Amino acid sequence: MSSEWEENILKPKIYATLPIPTDVEKFLSEYCEVRKWIGEDRISRETLLQDIKDVNGLLTSGIRIDDDLLENAPNLKVVSNVSVGFNNFNIEAMKQHNVIGTNTPYVLDETVADLTFALILASARRIAELDRFVKDGNWNPTKDDQLVFGLDVHSSTIGIIGMGRIGEAVARRAKFGFNMDVLYYNRNRKPEAEEKYEAEYCNLDSLLERSDFIVLLTPLTPETEHFIGEREFALMKKSTFFINVSRGKTVDEAAMIRALENKEIYGAGLDVFQKEPVEKDNPLLKMPNVVTVPHIGSATKKTRDAMIMRAAQNIVSALTGKGAIDSVY
């Protein structure tokens, strides 16, 4: 009967760059020797490259997986993202090094759709701005309260760019929760969504011209970098709100700032930014008609726990060859 020490020698080694709940660590330890970054701050690139020299699996999120890292980890077989987005993967390099890449789809769809609607409601009804207004003691008796008027969400038109699973969850809330007309633009038609939510497929320009709320939900790829820029903002109505819950770089942020400053659009709700954390002097942070949150799309305990368990299952399946995995290529 081999000792635990011998068993650990036999087990594949994995490295986690983010905190792991106890039940997930227990699950992983059954199959792997688990090593983890225990520093207070985000792990530095230098330390990471040092620590993963002999590991077989990497459990992470947002870390750039490129040739440099892969050269440094010759035994690496799998990188498991605790996120549905995988723009941090250099897929060609991973293929070259025969390293599997996995993500965490499905488990966050509803949570991200909730946050999307929170940004729609908060920007249209000026929740963040008026919360500050009240807390700063500016609420005084007035004859006419037009000062605090917002715009209606119910019965308006939503335009969803990127009708994937999260897009459909947003469409469902829009149709059945807010009696909104649903327009969508996507690489391919979604007959089911058209059926279920009376979602109207239209070309990008038509969606941009007709929508009261434009929701960007495309993954970040070389094709979608700066997908929304000067030309697209110029097509939008002056009463339109722009909502970004995808990635900061799918938008030309400078063009968005100009569109807001020139009142080409009415406001925005942003979960993601070109640079994260966003720079303290970013003009967006000074605009009362822009609601900003720190990339919290999937940030509920229940959903993040589900994401990290799914990522753990992916890494074990990839290393043991047993069970399904959410491979991204």
Find the catalytic residue in 173, 210, 247, 310. 247
Interface with ligand 8YV, residue 62, by CB under 6 A: yes
Q: Are 78 and 265 in contact (CB under 8 A)?
A: no
Among 17, 56, 83, 116, binds ligand 8YV (CB under 6 A): 83
Interface with ligand 8YV, residue 169, by CB under 6 A: no
Interface with ligand 8YV, residue 297, by CB under 6 A: yes
At its nearest, how many Å lie between ligand 8YV and the CB of residue 151?
A: 28
At its nearest, how many Å lie between ligand 8YV and the CB of residue 289?
A: 24
Any long-range contacts for 52-55 (C-beta under 8 Å, 24+ apart)? 52/15, 52/76, 54/13, 55/13, 55/14, 55/15
Residues 95-114 that bind ligand 8YV (CB under 6 A): 108
Q: Are 20 and 36 in contact (CB under 8 A)?
A: yes
Concerning whether 295 is annotated as a catalytic residue, the answer is yes
Burial degree of 84 (CB within 10 A; 0-12, 13-18, 19+) = buried
At its nearest, how many Å lie between ligand 8YV and the CB of residue 108?
A: 5
Q: Are 159 and 207 in contact (CB under 8 A)?
A: yes
Interface with ligand 8YV, residue 61, by CB under 6 A: yes
Find the catalytic residue in 210, 295, 304, 310. 295
User: Which one of the spans 83-91, 205-213, 223-231, 280-288 is the region binding ligand 8YV (CB under 6 A)?
Assistant: 83-91
**How far, in Å, are 57, 75, 101, 243, 319 from residue 316 at the CA level?**
9, 15, 13, 36, 5
CA–CA separation, 145 vs 186, rounded Å? 41
Interface with ligand 8YV, residue 298, by CB under 6 A: yes
At its nearest, how many Å lie between ligand 8YV and the CB of residue 213?
A: 20
Please write down the HEC assignment for all residues of 17-38. CCCCCHHHHHHHHHHCEEEECC
Nearer Cβ to ligand 8YV, position 128 or 272? 272
Among 12, 57, 85, 162, binds ligand 8YV (CB under 6 A): 85
**The residue type at 38:** I
- Contact positions vs ligand 8YV (CB under 6 A): 61-62, 83-85, 108, 297-298
